[in-house]
Amino acid sequence: MNVPVLTFFNNKGGVVKTSLVYHLSWMFADLGMRVVAVDLDPQANLSSAFLTEDDFESLFEHDEAAPPGTIHEALRPLIEGYGDVQLPALYHASQPRHTLQPDLPMGNGAGETLWLIPGDLLLSTFEDHLSETWPKCSNGDIRAFRVTSAFWRVMQMTAAKVSADIILVDVGPNLGAINRATLIASDHVVIPLAPDLFSLQGLRNLGPRLRSWRQDWQEKLLKYPGDDLSLPPAHTKPAGYIVQQHAVRLDRPVKAYARWMDRIPNEYRQSVLASASEPSVRVANDPHCLATLKNYRSLMPLAQEARKPMFHLKAGDGAMGSHATAALDVYKDYRQLAMRIASRCNIPLPADSMDLLATA
């Protein structure tokens, strides 16, 4: 049985996509799930969030006897033509958990439930291979199918190794071949947004491309001549969108963003779902809106310094007074978001987590 893959994607940058994947990876682990976080952005920002500079640097120290240290290294035999994808080394999130609310489940320790497949700057060199092989799938070229499905197979191999329940993927803000291969390997796509013109334009670019890629892959699967290769099914579905609120600024009042917020629901319907607009719908009552997250800008430097998610900050990390209260608020926000995503994507949460959450 394949492990569900959730990719967080918008071809507009600056929508805290990487931060969402990082924090939701921790939150799903806190809820008792076994999580694999995958960094498919060649800039490797998600990996930098999880790993110290020394740990990240050590991934690139070449050792023939060791498992591949990054996603690119796992693909190298396929890229260079002497083999197929390999199982990458498994990197545990090393930061121990910090209970914020004793009556809520916190899991059994990060090293047991949260793993990372690190990114690699060299991943950008795989783009040409993916671009070259995509049309060849239509001709039944077996190697083309191996290359196109490489991300999905590495992710599923890793998930099987650690008995994962869910895979969360971070990608770069573009519509290139790497993201195409990632999205056809995804079961669900979550779209982070900001209330601005550029996010709306991002939806207009993204929606038609998602449908086109899915249809193309469905047609290409019919051309595969063998039955020995496990390939991603062509059923990628939009799971919904998340709006990151702007911080309030004296020179730009909140009402300046209201008109963009009001336009998001119908732009999502028209561009991503290819459905009719509903004039009365707003973000607050839109079932496709997974969350509207506050801007917790003051907590982020503390979290980066402590190398942990914002909702795990403690007094020893500098989270005192209003910062401690804000950390609890972030925990509630992300817990609710994780549960909403799980429900929307039909991914069951552990029964003991649901029992405790129901009484919280």
Q: Which domains does the chain have, with CATH numbers?
A: 5-299+333-349 (3.40.50.300)
- Give pLDDT, residue 322: 86
The encoded tokens of residue 168 equal 């969360």
| Among the listed residues 213, 225, 205, the one whose alpha carbon sits nearest the alpha carbon of residue 185 | 213
CA distance 114 to 162: 9
Q: What is the pLDDT of residues 315-343, one digit of tens each?
A: 888 888 888 888 899 999 999 999 999 99
What is the tens place of the pLDDT at every residue in 109-158? 344 789 999 999 999 999 999 999 999 999 999 999 999 999 999 999 99
Cα atoms in the 13 Å half-sphere on the side-chain side of 225:
9
- The CA distance from 359 to 176, in Å, is 45
Q: What is the pLDDT of residue 332?
A: 94
* Amino acid identity for residue 244 in this structure: Q
Residue 321: exposure state from Cβ atoms within 10 A (0-12, 13-18, ≥19): exposed
Over residues 85-93, mean pLDDT: 83
- Inter-residue contact 319 to 327 (CB < 8 Å): yes
pLDDT band at residue 15, thresholds of 50, 70 and 90?
low
Total-model pTM: 0.90
Question: For 254, phi and psi rounded to 5 degrees?
Answer: -55, -35
Residue 65 burial by Cβ neighbours in a 10 Å radius (0-12, 13-18, 19+)? exposed
- Pairwise CA distance, residues 201 & 220, whole Å: 29
Of the candidates 76, 81, 113, the residue with the CA atom closest to the CA atom of residue 94? 113
209: how many CB neighbours lie within 10 A of its CB?
15
